[in-house]
């Protein structure tokens, strides 16, 4: 190699190094929750050991959970029997698998990824935090009672807080019950549309209701202030208790 080629290579190398190191948006690398950090008890409880999100990640605000409700004709106590529950559930799960796969680093979710599949952000009853779990992490416990009670969450064995369906629903039914409970109005196929129960995959012969949930770290893009997310992790599928 002559001196001119060596000189050209030495001049080009810093530029290549710069593009490789600085051209990557670091905020896309919010940490993904490991599947090994999630413990399921049938389809009634999940315990998630959420690690704190280090300050080095750009504008990280915490964790968020996306959900969708599926009406089913079948009863199961398993959180993995998706084929038995709903074909719509299987379809959604397969679409999201490219995003949940830790080895697939090229598939990054946006604010529309879950929205386009009629998934909404989980909210919590009676709190100022709607959908955001603190970036300090902790032991996050979700409980879905078998009958006649309200699903709840707690962090580090603290106060139990009722789960709420999204406040972005236009006209959910029943209007006086946005908790995750199996009601006739929730199961009504005519209500499973974009104007009423947009978060429900309906079924004409359904007796049971399940919810599928995904968790992701969330932050803010510092250049345009839009939300950015980590790769999501599937928490599980849970049976909604019947309402009184």
Put residue 162 in one of left, alpha, beta given phi > 0 → left and psi -120 to 50 → alpha.
beta
Element (H, E) at 209: strand 208-220
Residue 110 in domain: yes
Q: How confident is the model at residue 178, as a pLDDT?
A: 87
Say if residues 93 and 214 touch (Cβ distance below 8 Å): no
Question: For residues 116 and 139, what is the distance between their CA atoms, to the nearest angstrom?
Answer: 30
Tens of pLDDT, residue by residue over 62-96, are 999 999 999 999 999 988 889 999 999 999 999 99
Question: For residues 70 and 208, what is the distance between their CA atoms, to the nearest angstrom?
Answer: 8
More confident residue, 243 or 128: 243
Number of domains observed in the structure of the chain: 1
Residue 12 in domain: no
Task: Identify the sign of the CA torsion 32, 150, 118, 237.
Answer: positive
Question: For residues 194 and 147, what is the distance between their CA atoms, to the nearest angstrom?
Answer: 28
Nearest-CA neighbor of 211 among 174, 168, 167, 180? 180
Residue 10 in domain: no
* Token output for 133: 């779990």
Residue 7 in domain: no
pTM greater than the 0.95 cutoff: no
Nearest-CA neighbor of 220 among 155, 135, 137? 135
Question: For residues 239 and 109, what is the distance between their CA atoms, to the nearest angstrom?
Answer: 26
The residue range of the domain holding 65 is 27-239
Question: For residues 44 and 77, what is the distance between their CA atoms, to the nearest angstrom?
Answer: 8
Mean pLDDT, residues 195-199: 93
Mean pLDDT, residues 133-144: 92
pLDDT at 238 over 90: yes
Q: How confident is the model at residue 131, as a pLDDT?
A: 75
More confident residue, 23 or 154: 154
Say if residues 131 and 65 touch (Cβ distance below 8 Å): yes
Eight-state DSSP code of residue 12: H
Say if residues 145 and 151 touch (Cβ distance below 8 Å): yes
Residue 8 in domain: no
Residue 80 in domain: yes
Residue 55 in domain: yes
Residue 16 in domain: no
Q: How confident is the model at residue 18, as a pLDDT?
A: 38
Cis peptide upstream of residue 175 (ω within 30 degrees of 0): no
Quote the percentage of the chain above a pLDDT of 90: 58
- pLDDT band for 190, please (50, 70, 90 cuts): very high
């Amino acid at each position: 190699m002559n001196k001119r080629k060596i000189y050209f290579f030495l001049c080009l190398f810093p530029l290549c190094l710069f593009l490789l190191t600085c051209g990557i948006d670091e905020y896309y690398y919010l940490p993904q929750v490991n599947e090994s950090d999630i413990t399921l008890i049938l389809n009634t409880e999940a315990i998630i050991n959420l690690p704190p999100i280090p300050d080095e990640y750009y504008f990280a605000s915490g964790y968020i959970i996306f959900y969708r409700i599926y009406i089913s004709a079948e009863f199961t106590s398993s959180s993995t029997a998706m084929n038995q529950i709903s074909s719509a559930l299987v379809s959604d799960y397969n679409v999201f698998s490219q995003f949940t796969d830790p080895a697939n680093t090229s598939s990054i979710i946006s604010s529309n990824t879950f929205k386009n599949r009629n998934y909404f952000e989980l909210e919590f009853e009676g709190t100022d935090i709607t959908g955001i779990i603190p970036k300090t992490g902790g032991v996050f416990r979700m409980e879905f009672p078998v009958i006649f009670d309200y699903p709840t969450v707690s962090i580090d064995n603290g106060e139990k807080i009722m789960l709420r369906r999204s406040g972005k629903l236009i006209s959910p039914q029943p209007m006086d019950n946005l908790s995750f409970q199996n009601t006739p109005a929730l199961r009504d196929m005519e209500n499973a549309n974009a104007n009423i129960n947009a978060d429900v995959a309906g079924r004409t012969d359904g007796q049971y209701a399940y919810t599928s949930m995904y968790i992701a770290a969330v932050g803010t893009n510092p250049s345009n202030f839009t939300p950015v997310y980590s790769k999501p992790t599937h928490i599980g599928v849970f049976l909604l208790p019947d309402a009184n």
